Amino acid sequence: MNWDDATDERPERLVGTAADHEDQAVEAALRPKDLGEFIGQERVRQQLDLVLRAARQRQGTADHVLLSGAPGLGKTTLSMIIAAEMGAPIRITSGPAIQHAGDLAAILSSLQEGEVLFLDEIHRMSRPAEEMLYMAMEDYRVDVIVGKGPGATAIPLELPPFTLVGATTRAGLLPPPLRDRFGFTGHMEFYAPAELEKVIRRSSGLLDVEVADDGAAEIAGRSRGTPRIANRLLRRVRDYAQVRADGVITREIAAKALEVYEVDERGLDRLDRAVLQALLKLFGGGPVGLSTLAVAVGEERETVEEVAEPFLVREGLLARTPRGRVATPAAWTHLGLVPPQNHAGPGQSGLFGP
């Protein structure tokens, strides 16, 4: 299970509860500790292995690393593996937590030589802090401004060599000067079902849960190509198998359990289906504006756009067009509905006829 939990898949998810802390503890226990244990992302793993091996042979600090990709694919896990492979401590923070250049200066000035600094959601860092980071990454130096106005003085502060690991779900929002300062950039891809089955089998062994091959395949097929989701569903199916069956996860048990948790055979959950149902039943398949669609399902605009839409688009169930969101023929089929005769489909002229 290769997933990162510094950001969660659902922005509306409540944090701080006992269940959350328990889930975080389980996820931490399931994390692979080195590249050899890391499942999937074969290209990124091989490239990163070369970078780290070369740095160890030179007895130096590894180049700065940028990891991009959707939430839950393993960016935080890889950052911890980088630190472990280099035998260095790791410090974890995030872009939203660094709103002033002074915040970043305080973190950088306390780093030890060779330490790994993991900066999650790096695209959300403030511009002043971002500009300070340029010099820190390239010259291992920052200028600390003391005083205000005409009497302000810049004091140069030398930094020990360190490795910055930046993670982002929106690489396009990073300015070119920042992207160019990373020595290695790895893009994390969604997982194939066969890879997720390996993730599930490894996790089930660590959780001491018996999972049949068809049970692992059933969970993998509903995990949206994301290891974090696969592990989460595995734990929920484990609960169902423990309470309502003999504890063994088969395809039948997995299907029944995920029906209880409102995850269908393609991995769509309650919010995904609510968006599709509103789009099809209320707006005839679209086009409809995002804000209108969000109001129809009782969610924030950002929740629909950032949580539901990416998966629905990737599954070919929804399309974004200049005129608004439009359901595809596959969406009608998936919900067992018949499109109106004047529905032409996305990307075609005359969505509602002439």
Active site residues: 75-76, 120, 169, 228
d(C-alpha 228, C-alpha 303), whole Å: 19
Class of residue 336 by CB neighbours under 10 A (exposed 0-12, middle 13-18, buried 19+): exposed
DSSP 36: T
Judge whether 187 and 88 are in contact, CB under 8 Å: no
3-state secondary structure of 262: coil
Judge whether 248 and 266 are in contact, CB under 8 Å: no
3-state secondary structure of 191: coil
Distances in Å between the alpha carbon of 332 and those of 269, 317, 319, 329?
Answer: 16, 8, 13, 5
The backbone torsions φ and ψ at residue 184, rounded to the nearest 5 degrees and listed phi first, read -140, 135
3-state secondary structure of 9: coil
At 198, list the tokens.
Answer: 């390996």
Torsion (CA) 169, 118, 36, 249 in degrees, nearest 10: -60
Nearest CA-CA partner of 322 in 289, 285, 282 = 289
